[in-house]
Amino acid sequence: MITLKNVSKIYQRGKKQTIAVDDINLNIEQGDIFGIIGYSGAGKSSLIRLLNRLEPVTKGEVIVGKYNITTSSEREIRKIRHSIGMIFQHFNLLWSRTVRENIEFPLEISGLDKKQRFQRASELMELVGLADKADEYPSTLSGGQKQRVGIARALANNPDVLLCDEATSALDPKTTQTILALLAEINQKMNITIVLITHEMQVVKAICNKVAVIEQGKIIEQGEVVKIFNQPKHKVTQQFLSQSVHVTDNSDDIENIKQQSTVIKLLLQEGKKYDYLLYDLISKFNDPVNLIKGSFSQENGFIYLQLNNKSDEIIQYLENNKFDIAVV
pLDDT tens across 147-165, in order? 999 999 999 999 999 999 9
- Specify the pLDDT at position 94: 94
- Give me the CATH number covering residue 10: 3.40.50.300
pLDDT value, residue 252: 57
Same domain, 129 and 16: yes
pLDDT of residue 271: 63
User: Over the stretch 48-80, which tens digit does the pLDDT of each residue have?
Assistant: 999 999 999 999 999 999 999 999 999 999 889
The answer to whether residues 161 and 193 touch, using CB atoms and an 8 Å cutoff, is yes
Query: Which domain-ending residue is among 231, 256, 273?
Result: 231
Domain end (from 174, 209, 231): 231
pLDDT, position 19: 95
Does 65 map to a domain?
A: yes
What pTM was computed for the model? 0.78
Task: For residue 67, report the phi and psi dihedrals to the nearest 5 degrees.
Answer: -105, 135
Same domain, 117 and 139: yes
Measured distance CA(270)–CA(137) in Å, rounded: 53
Residue 279 and residue 204 share a domain: no
Could you tell me if 160 and 284 lie in one domain? no
Assign 3-state DSSP to the chain and report helix, strand, coil percentages, each to 5: 40, 30, 30
Residues 298 and 184 in one domain: no
Strands (E), the chain: 2-13, 16-28, 33-37, 59-64, 67-68, 84-88, 161-165, 193-198, 210-215, 218-224, 263-268, 290-297, 300-306, 324-327
Same domain, 206 and 308: no
Alpha-carbon gap, residue 62 to 70, rounded angstroms: 6
What is the reported pLDDT for 296?
Answer: 54
Looking at the fold, whether 87 and 118 belong to one and the same domain comes out as: yes
The gap from C-alpha 179 to its chain's centroid, in whole angstroms, comes to 10
45 neighbors 197 (Cβ within 8 angstroms):
yes
238 occurs within a structural domain: no
Which residues in the chain land under pLDDT 70?
A: 243-253, 270-276, 294-300
Looking up residue 295, the CATH number of its domain turns out to be 3.30.70.260
Residue ranges making up the domain that contains 184: 2-231
Report the 10 Å Cβ neighbour count for 253: 12
H or E element that contains 147: helix 143-155
Domain count of the chain? 2
- Domain-located, residue 227: yes
Q: Which of 202, 146, 191, 195 lies closest to 171, judged by CA? A: 146
Q: Mark whether 159 and 20 lie in a shared domain.
A: yes
11 and 62 in a single domain? The answer is yes
Specify the 3-state DSSP secondary structure of 76: helix
Domain-located, residue 239: no
**CA nearest neighbour of 130 among 178, 89, 190, 174:** 178
